[in-house]
Amino acid sequence: MREQSIEKQVSEELTEYFEQARQLKCPPSMKKNLYAQIGLNKTRQWLQPAMAFSFVALSSLGLVWHNHNQNEQMVLAQAERDMQIAMHYMQKVSEKTLTETNTHGIKPAIIVPVSKSMAQI
Amino acid sequence: MSIWYRLQVSKNQHGLYALAYQMLGNQLEAEDVVQDTFIKLWQRKEQGVEFEKAWLYKVTRNQCLDIIRRRKHAYEYQIAHVVGSDVARSASDEVLNDELSGEIGKAIKQLEEPYKSLLVMREVNGLSYQVLADSLDLSLSQTKVYLHRARKQLKESLEKSYA
């Protein structure tokens, strides 16, 4: 009985010891000194500017995309406004009699905003 | 090539450090050993290294054994030349300095080679039997037998101390 408990205790403590030993990490100073010694740090000298350049390029791309998106939204808003104006005139025309629509002033007032907004959409 | 090298360093540094630390019981020495191992790998990068993992563990273990041998010689020298003096006592204390405190650390330290290396490489680093065999230039069956003996010796030593 006692032998069994000792054996159990030993097994448990061994498991715990090896688990702790597995958690042990090599200090970062080793890698740093190693790369400095064999001159591998030099690669970082081009890596950092390359990363900075990539960042600037990505930011510019983002800005261009944002501006493009904003322009598109402005065009759409303008088209919508034109469309509303056109609808307003269409409403007015529908309220008028056939003889009244033959006057010269109404036709261009309807056709121009409608064709303009259709072209933009 | 440098990407391959960096990958090897990242993948193996902690395992090699664990082995060196368990063998030497000293953080600074373990760190130096791991660094020297990777410098050796860098120097061999043109020739190429087969079975990198086994090779890295083999080089680390050999370096640790060299340090242990040097320590032993230094200790014997101190004993032979300045026995009983304070200098000898402090030098021997340093040689026997055990950072792996506790019964288990001491019991592992007392294991003979190749039992100690095999046990640490298997239990701490989780290496396969094949990598262990390649690292220590043993056959697969020899590796299994030695590992079994190592576990048995360690358990017996601990059971004695707990009894």
The token pair that represents B17 in the structure block: 């450090």
Return the DSSP state at B77.
H
A53-92 residue pLDDT tens: 788 888 888 888 888 888 888 888 888 888 887 777 777 7
- Residue tagged 């065999």 (tokens): B133
In this prediction, residue A111 has a pLDDT band, given cuts at 50, 70 and 90, of low
Name the closest residue on chain A to residue B157, using Cα atoms. Answer: A10
Quick one: pLDDT at residue B35? 93
The token pair that represents A92 in the structure block: 């007015």
Across the interface, do B34 and A21 touch by the CB < 8 Å criterion?
no
Report how far residue A99's alpha carbon sits from residue B99's, in angstroms, rounded to the nearest whole number: 109
What domains lie within chain B, and their CATH numbers? 2-162 (1.20.140)
The amino acid occupying position B43 is Q
A26-37 residue pLDDT tens: 898 898 888 888
- Residue A40 at interface with chain B, using a CB cutoff of 8 Å: yes
Report how far residue B115's alpha carbon sits from residue B66's, in angstroms, rounded to the nearest whole number: 17
Quick one: pLDDT at residue A115? 67
| Cβ(A9)–Cβ(B160) below 8 Å | no
Rounded to two decimals, what is the model's pTM? 0.62
Least confident of A13-17, B17-21, B90-94: B90-94
Predicted-complex ipTM score: 0.72
B52-88 residue pLDDT tens: 889 999 999 999 999 988 887 776 666 666 555 555 5
Q: b/e string for B53-78 if b means 16 or more Cβ within 10 A? A: bbbbbbbbbebbeebbeebeeebeeb
Report how far residue B66's alpha carbon sits from residue B98's, in angstroms, rounded to the nearest whole number: 18
Q: b/e string for B115-138 if b means 16 or more Cβ within 10 A? A: bbbbbbbbbbbebeeebbbbbbeb
B106-153 residue pLDDT tens: 888 888 888 988 988 898 888 889 998 998 899 999 999 999 999 888
B38: nearest CB among A6, A17, A34: A34
Closest Cα of chain B to A64: distance in Å? Answer: 34
Closest Cα of chain B to A18: distance in Å? Answer: 6
The token pair that represents A4 in the structure block: 């069994």
Closest Cα of chain A to B60: distance in Å? Answer: 14
